Amino acid sequence: MRQKGAALVLPNFAWLALFMLGPLITLFVISFRTYEAGRGIQDAWTIAHYVAFVADPYHLGILLRTLRLGIEVTAWCLVLGFPMAYGLSRLRGTPRALLYFVVLLPLLTSAVVRTFGWMIVLSNNGFINRTLIDLGVIDSPIRFMYSMLGIVVALVQVLLPFMVLALDAALLNIDPRVYEAARNLGASRLRVFLQITLPLSLPGILSGSVLVFTLAISAFVTPSLIGGPRVPVMATLIYQQGMSLLNWPFGGAIAFVMLATVVVLFLIAMRLARQERGT
């Protein structure tokens, strides 16, 4: 049985090793090589790229902005996704299938098309600003384009499905009788939510948050089109170093700083989850 299980994961594992672990290791090695403008990657070893990143407030600022972006997108996805997931988890049959499809809709368009769509909607002369100005709500347009706000709005839309599906899975796991038991014992709806629904859906909150956070901080198309050069994030910075300046060692170093940050955050989340389960 165990051997059969191992055989089943083997193809996947080989694929991962070849096309993910391989490039990762190569890049890791490259990130410790020296680089000379015009002459490319050299054979000498150095940790200068890591030092350069950590010592430069400009780069650290981009790291912080990226983390802030991740936190904001995750928070909005949680706030908007929870009621949606709750409704979804309570439905059965065709209504559930329909809502499920609606939730998944944002994932069915390509990132580029979707982002251009958002650019039209969010621009100074776009749908939102024109409407608000015509209604007299605002005098001058809100700056969505080339700002964090625009990136957050566009990313929340596309990452919301991941949050909703993770929360839905956790909420489906809760026996509805448990809610009834709490009501029967005298709990108000608020108390049921705070003391029953919320703690019992914590595994979903954590897995959804980890997923959305990771996808948000590694998003490339949306920040580069909506944020542009004025609002660089880690992904666009790596792209600029690697593709535009061909400085692979520095680009690699930035990538690994980010990877390390994500891994640390992930470990903290796991620890929190274990504590909550009381083991």
Partner 1 sequence: MTTYDLEMQGLRKIYGDSVAVDAVTLSLGKGEMVALLGPSGCGKTTTLRMVAGFVEPSAGRILLDGRDITHVPANQRDTGMVFQSYALFPHMTVRRNVAFGLRCRHLPEDEVRRRTAEAIELVGLGSFEERYPRQLSGGQQQRVALARVLVLRPKLLLFDEPLSNLDAKLRVQMRQEIRRLQKDVGITALFVTHDQDEASSIADRIAVMNAGRIEQAGTPAEIYNEPATRFVADFIGTSNLIDGVAETSGDGRMTFRADAGGVFAARGRASTGARGALCIRPEKVDICPPGVAGAREGIVRRTARTAGMMEYVVVLTDGPELTVQEQLRHGIAPREDGALVGVVLREEDTQFLVG
**Is 185 one of the binding residues for partner 1 (CB under 8 A)?**
yes
H helices present in the chain, as ranges: 2-16, 22-30, 48-55, 57-90, 93-104, 111-122, 127-134, 148-172, 176-184, 189-192, 198-200, 202-218, 221-222, 234-239, 248-276
Three-class DSSP category at 7: helix
Q: Return the residue of 69, 148, 158, 182 that touches partner 1, per CB under 8 A.
A: 182
Q: Return the residue of 5, 38, 186, 229 that touches partner 1, per CB under 8 A.
A: 186
Q: Which stretch binds partner 1 (CB under 8 A): 65-73, 93-101, 191-199, 232-240?
A: 191-199
Q: Which amino acid is at 125?
A: N
What is the distance between the alpha carbons of residues 127 and 119, in angstroms, rounded to a whole number?
Answer: 10
Three-class DSSP category at 35: strand
Smallest distance from the beta carbon of 188 to partner 1, in angstroms?
6
150 and 144 Cβ atoms separated by less than 8 Å: yes
Smallest distance from the beta carbon of 187 to partner 1, in angstroms?
5
Tokens coding 216: 């948000």
Q: Return the residue of 22, 29, 45, 191 that touches partner 1, per CB under 8 A.
A: 191
Smallest distance from the beta carbon of 2 to partner 1, in angstroms?
26
Q: Return the residue of 184, 229, 230, 244 that touches partner 1, per CB under 8 A.
A: 184
Three-class DSSP category at 244: helix
Q: Return the residue of 196, 215, 221, 262 that touches partner 1, per CB under 8 A.
A: 196
Smallest distance from the beta carbon of 40 to partner 1, in angstroms?
57
Residues that bind partner 1 (CB under 8 A): 175, 177-178, 180-188, 191, 195-196, 199-200, 276-278
